[in-house]
Structure 1
Amino acid sequence: MRRDIVLRVAAKFIMAPLMLFALYVQFHGDYGPGGGFQAGVIAAAGVILYALINGLAAAQRLVSMALVERLIPAGVLIYAAVGLVSMALGGNFLDYNPLAHDPVHGQEWGVFLVEAGVFLTVFSSMIAIYYAFASRRAS
């Protein structure tokens, strides 16, 4: 793949807008379609595209497997922590109202944090699945 200059240049042009679109989908998820799951898949697709063009080793230098192994439980922990904090503040699990001084801000913070946890988990899970398949030797 090192000699295919057209693919490498095209991938370089696509990567930045792809990651920017993932951020847009992540932060627009409160107001319309999108959110953590969709943004996580889009961002993971960007890393997978990078791996397909530049090789698995280059992608693992960009996003190491050690980082991926830490991000998966970190996302789940953020999700669960929001629910537990809600319960500690007198609400139900994932009832966002008690998270701030008024229910509207509590809802905004709760949705934002839960979607961030979902993003981290989905992004890192997709990368882990790709790394697992890409690192297998062909039989």
Structure 2
Amino acid sequence: MHHHLILRVVSKMLIPPILLYALYVQFHGDFGPGGGFQAGVIFAVAFILYGIVFSLDHLRRAVPPHIVRRFVALGLLIYAGVGVANLFLGGNFLDYSTLAHDAKHGQHYGILLVELGVGITVAAVMISIFFAFASRPPTIKDTDW
């Protein structure tokens, strides 16, 4: 385990900027390229890198799978909740103009909330997929090649 010291040090230095960049992409998505899907994938990459470098067991201790499943549901609830809130406020599903005192601010709030829900869901699903594939035993041995 300790023979990958350089890889561990470099990944510890890279993970925080990756997470920060994911937040930038998340909250800058309504002004430029980016948004919830891209930010969710970038955010998940930081955790997947941690799991590859430090082991799946370390990742499971840092982010337990039952918590990841809850974040999948939370992201979906945020996304759907914004749409349902619009219905209760007299608008159409995912018509954000009813979320604030004027339509422009409502659109801004609605896009931020929906993109946040998408980002949380995508990140959690990507981490869940990594857990699923990394947990399976290999079917082809290295000696079979």
Verify same fold: TM over 0.5.
yes
Aligned residues: 139
- C-alpha separation in 2, matches of 1:63 and 1:35: 23
- C-alpha separation in 2, matches of 1:113 and 1:4: 40
Tell me by how many angstroms 1:104 deviates.
Answer: 1.1
Tell me by how many angstroms 1:3 deviates.
Answer: 1.8
Per-residue CA deviation, residues 60-105 of structure 1 (Å, 9 max, x unaligned), is 1111101111011111111011001111111111000000111111
Tell me by how many angstroms 1:57 deviates.
Answer: 0.6
> What is the percentage of aligned positions where both structures have the same residue?
53
Aligned-residue Cα RMSD (Å) equals: 0.8
Letter in 2 for 1:96: Y
SS in 1 for 2:95: coil
- C-alpha separation in 2, matches of 1:32 and 1:87: 28
Tell me by how many angstroms 1:42 deviates.
Answer: 0.2
- C-alpha separation in 2, matches of 1:39 and 1:138: 30
Structure 1 regions of 5+ residues with no counterpart?
none
Runs of 4+ in 1 over 3 A off after TM superposition: none
Question: What is the TM-score when the length of structure 1 is the normalising length?
Answer: 0.97
Structure 2 regions of 5+ residues with no counterpart?
140-145
Q: CA contact under 8 A between 1:2 and 1:54: conserved in structure 2? A: no
Where does 1:1-139 land on structure 2 (aligned, <5 Å)?
1-139=1-139
Question: Match of 2:142?
Answer: none
SS in 2 for 1:104: helix
Per-residue CA deviation, residues 30-57 of structure 1 (Å, 9 max, x unaligned), is 1011011000000100000000000001
When Rg is computed on C-alpha atoms for both structures, the one with the higher figure is 2
Q: CA contact under 8 A between 1:99 and 1:110: conserved in structure 2? A: yes
